[in-house]
Structure 1
């Protein structure tokens, strides 16, 4: 399954730089490195202010991370802040094991519409709280999730038979705003898992 995932190179001859920001919606935001500040705890209003400030200042994207138990839940926060944004692209970090793949496809498609195509997904394949899974299983789950997202966003039916997931179901109306295959997926990892 992993060898079937293709890399999509993004090249340009223009001399441009993409400038992004980080929004610590999971807590731990500080003015000074290593100095905790109770006024900067994760709250919707504080994190919304960070997002809107980055948007107003012209940042291209802002990363909305995810955590097991603390701070804002990433999809809920992104959905809540989306109507207030103008130009910034939200990079939402998604731990694939936390979501049922067809529901994830629906949620991300709806969020992409709210943002009018300003959505990027940062795929994470880490362990879940209380579990310790081998890297091969995590990468397999991640790869299967990506294929299910692709089918949901580009076809009328999800017809997937993997090692972990088996689906044969309608995909309509799970189409994202971005009709080029869906939101861009960022993915980091190592070949060893």
Structure 2
């Protein structure tokens, strides 16, 4: 298949089919039969996940984050709050709901920030990032299993926390670095 950009033809890979290996309500794992433009064929694992929505919640020079253990990589890390978008739910509503459930804070002035695919080479896992420039305390988090602690982290420490491996999630890094590079107005 070819497409055009700026007057030149772009050649795309051809997908000859995809067979499902496993499927749940949050994930579908399959194997795609792929052909490259030069005719070489191979199989590629493909993971398709539900959309996720996350939020950068700011309070002056601080950002709301959660400290949690991620068992897959066996690490304690700082992350932005977020979760999977429920069917028929708007992603901004998901992001705000997840902030409340995970932190006990209700974000205000929610706006879209950026959309990203953290592992585009073999996964379709769109992450929709939102930003809020303030929040109000509504009470203790609903889900005590989400985080060991919730804290307002100084934005000035984000780069150092990334360098020290405290913030390793791609979506958290993208959201934080985005607001540092392009502060919301």
Interval of TM-score (by shorter of Structure 1 and Structure 2): under 0.3
Task: Identify which of structures 1 and 2 has the higher relative contact order when contacts are C-alpha pairs closer than 8 Å and 6+ apart.
Answer: 2
Greater strand fraction, Structure 1 or Structure 2: 2
- TM-score, length-normalised on structure 2? 0.25
Greater helix fraction, Structure 1 or Structure 2: 1
